A and B are shown apart, each in its own frame.
Chain A
């Protein structure tokens, strides 16, 4: 079992709809969870971080964390074509400096 798993996609969503990206992790002592967006040929850019169970909202983005189910998700409301990118889920354990990435989900927003 991979430490961090994501559906590689591609995930295709119409413009204006909600895009839902999912990630599961295997290590129960994981403490910090991150979503990065990566455009083709560019470096990863932090979108959201979440550390506690529940929802965290920032503009059109909402991160959801459920530690009991070892599940973290990212919702993008009112999806725009500029949201088309690969979204990387990353997990960090307490005391560990190692950020473990999922394989990434490729998201395409169709106008």
Chain B
């Protein structure tokens, strides 16, 4: 089973709202990722958690705040977003630590900021 789940599927929020995206995997993977994807562009890495510790932050604005409560869960807290933050937010996971790491993507959350 290579399933990564994400909720919600769609989210519309105003610029003053606070919301959270959730990602879950039960494959025993120890690395989890957040990507942002704009239309007709490839996914762009935002954050990497490895063994529940933040290992990579690709200079993401502080209005995006990741959290990894345990090895199966990954959250992305959103606050004071801008309309240009509207995109597909993808979560991925991989075994963690190896050279030949395959990342498996969830279905994504489509976010619209008004």
Contacts and interface: CB of A to CB of B under 8 A. Distances in A.
B48 A44 contact: no
Interface string A44-60: 11100101000000000
Given A94-B99, A97-B50, A43 B105 contact: yes
Contacts of B101: 32, 92, 97
Contacts of B55: 97
B56 interface: yes
6 contacts: A31-B100, A97-B101, A98-B45, A98-B56, A99-B103, A101-B42
In which size bucket is the chain B interface? 20 to 34
A43 B45 contact: no
A32 B48 contact: no
B104 interface: yes
B102 A45 contact: no
Contacts of A92: 101
Contact of A43 (B48, B99, B106): B106
A103 B50 contact: no
B43 interface: yes
Interface in B85-103: 88, 90, 94, 99-103
A31 B102 CA distance: 12
Contacts of A98: 45, 48, 56
Interface string A85-111: 000100010110111011110000000
Given A43-B106, A44-B105, A98-B56, A32 B100 contact: yes
B31 interface: yes
Contact of B31 (A97, A103, A104): A97
B66 interface: no
A28 interface: no
